[in-house]
Amino acid sequence: MPRYKSGGGATTATAKKYNIWDTPATPHPYDEEFEGPITFNSGSDGGWWYENNGTSGSYATTAISKYTAYNSGDMRVHINETYNPSWLRMQPPQDSNRHILKKQITFPTNMLVYCRFRFTQHIGNTTHDNPRFNFAIVGAGSGGAQGGAKANYITMEVDNGEVISKSWRANGGGSFSDVGGHVTTDVDSEGQALEYFALHKIGTTYHYWTGTESNWIYFGSTTNDYTPVVVSLEAHTENQDHILSIDFVRFIETDKFPF
């Protein structure tokens, strides 16, 4: 009988066909579960690659530690196969750069892209954008969602002691529009509750979702006419020390949101 990952690696013997929290019985070819060693490649081979502030980087493979300061260089990327075998961990250096993992995708007309994530917080720290995670569908160009390309993306960040989530549209050329989704009531400075992001492309319309395992929150939609070519995971810590972890990134070719 097939086994399905639920959350951070637990398994269950059964799963509904459209329970998108569990590992699908038939995964999409682009699905990434981050189980076991992972090889980072180039932008042309379908693997993940890394950019530091829009410039190609080499990423560091040294062990990640919350208790040891990491002050300079490229982002650390690591999967702890002993303790967290299904979580990709990302530790940016303590700088103000945007550290991005990107994967080239050929998008069909309709595609739901979703992920599960978590990050560390320092209670009482009110520094803006500390930490910040962007989950993005990006068009041609460099620099990720906040570069010069067109994009649609959701952010989770700590601002003034609150953990908030917002939906954005990048219009190209450095112009951005706040789509309007803004959540503060589900999370606060005492911890992250929201742990899922979903971006749903239906033609040229993009729908935004965030949620927990028991609740989905709709941020609305926007029209953005471009050809997406990349999914990106973007970490920003504003000179602080934080670790971002990604459990999975999954894809469903559909024009329906599968509750």
What residues have CB less than 8 Å from 17, skipping those under 6 apart?
Answer: 25
Residue 201 CA to residue 222 CA, distance in Å, equals 10
Residue 78 CA to residue 100 CA, distance in Å, equals 14
Instruction: Reply yes or no on whether the pLDDT at 13 is more than 50.
Output: no
pTM, full prediction: 0.86
Instruction: Reply yes or no on whether the pLDDT at 78 is more than 70.
Output: yes
**What is residue 97's DSSP assignment?**
-
Choice between 168 and 187, residue whose per-residue pLDDT is larger: 168
Across 60-64, 135-139, 173-177, 184-188, the highest mean pLDDT is recorded for 135-139
For range 16-31, the mean pLDDT: 79
Instruction: Reply yes or no on whether the pLDDT at 53 is more than 90.
Output: no
Q: Where are the alpha helices (DSSP H) in the chain?
A: none
* E strands present in 61-141: 76-78, 88-91, 99-104, 110-119, 132-138
Look-up of token digits 């620099």? 143
Instruction: Reply yes or no on whether the pLDDT at 4 is more than 60.
Output: no
What pLDDT, on the 0 to 100 scale, is given for residue 229? 92
CATH class of 36-252: mainly beta
Instruction: Reply yes or no on whether the pLDDT at 23 is more than 60.
Output: yes
Choice between 1 and 93, residue whose per-residue pLDDT is larger: 93
What are the sequence ranges of the domains in the chain? 36-252
What pLDDT, on the 0 to 100 scale, is given for residue 183? 63
What pLDDT, on the 0 to 100 scale, is given for residue 259? 64
For range 186-211, the mean pLDDT: 84
For range 221-243, the mean pLDDT: 90
Mean pLDDT score of the chain: 81
Instruction: Reply yes or no on whether the pLDDT at 139 is more than 70.
Output: yes
